[in-house]
Amino acid sequence: MVSGKSSIKLNIEGLKISYGDHVALKGASLEVRENEIFGIIGPAGAGKTSFLRAINRMDEMTPGMKVEGKLEFNGKDVSEWRNLYALRSRIGVVFPLPVGLPMSIYENVAFAAKLRGVKGRDDLDEVVERCLTRAALWDEVKDRLDSLGSLLSGGQQQRLTIARALSQEPELLLLDEFSIAVDPVTTMRIEEVLKTLRKEMTIVLVTNLVQQARRLADRTALFLAGEVVEVGKTKKLFSGEAQDQRTTDYIEGRFG
């Protein structure tokens, strides 16, 4: 777990996200620290996914989505990044349903590495093997790297998506319900990888599995009906020391 004072990777103040007349997140304020796993829990419709989309400026690709307030990445508001690719190259994203590129398993992972200037075959091979290993997929696909990624099973495609995100060498990794399409054994393997990745990057983990947040997150936030109810050290929240009764009620399964 993160200890001591860490620098701030994300600073959010008064963040409002809306889709037309529907407000998905209203006035959210929180900080995400460097080299921590920051967990976000809460029921469906709480604004969790919209929050991740705002970080990566996906409002520019989503009709009707509007983002207001302060959302700083490394001290600079994401809206001020002129080069959107430069921003997104530093932020890896994995959403619940895998979306593979229409190319081979190898190229799915090598693509981002090529964009950031890796050219030699040996170097690309190393990136592909390292990222597939981290995503707990290498042993299953190492003999068929030239096969289409779309031919993999759903769980394997999700792990391929994780490997592709890692190949960007991001500073910030956003995971939205990554384990929905993954079996429990593989989920545990990926969780072990995430614990080691904390040393290299900051991770924001949205999960509907409260025990997953308990296992992984240094700090956890509860989102509820578009509001950030509470942010605190995970150990305290899960030890009955939450400041808001709704946090305890959600963690103990009284609603959700």
**Segment 195-223, tens digit of pLDDT:** 989 899 999 999 999 999 999 999 999 99
CB distance 242 to 251 below 8 Å: yes
The pLDDT value given to residue 6? 62
| Euclidean distance between CA atoms 87 and 163, whole angstroms | 19
The pLDDT value given to residue 101? 76
The pLDDT value given to residue 4? 42
The pLDDT value given to residue 61? 84
Which of 2-16, 92-106, 157-171, 190-204 bottoms out in mean pLDDT, i.e. has the lowest? 2-16
For residue 2, is pLDDT > 70?
A: no
Q: What is the dihedral of CA 132, 134, 135, 136, to 10 degrees?
A: 90
Instruction: Kindly give the pairing relationship between strand 227-233 and strand 219-224.
Output: antiparallel
pLDDT tens per residue, range 168-201: 999 999 999 988 878 888 889 889 989 989 899 9
- Domains of the chain, CATH where assigned: 36-57+84-251 (3.40.50.300)
Locate 151 and state its tokens.
């031919």
The pLDDT value given to residue 5? 47
| Euclidean distance between CA atoms 15 and 48, whole angstroms | 12
Locate 47 and state its tokens.
């604004």
Asked whether the whole model's pTM tops 0.85, one would answer yes
pLDDT tens per residue, range 56-95: 998 888 889 999 999 999 999 999 999 988 899 899 999 8
Q: Which residues contact 148 (CB under 8 A, 6 or more apart)?
A: 102, 103, 104, 105
Handedness of CA 202, 173, 116, 200 (dihedral sign): positive
Q: Cβ of 12: how many Cβ atoms within 10 Å?
A: 20
For residue 143, is pLDDT > 60?
A: yes
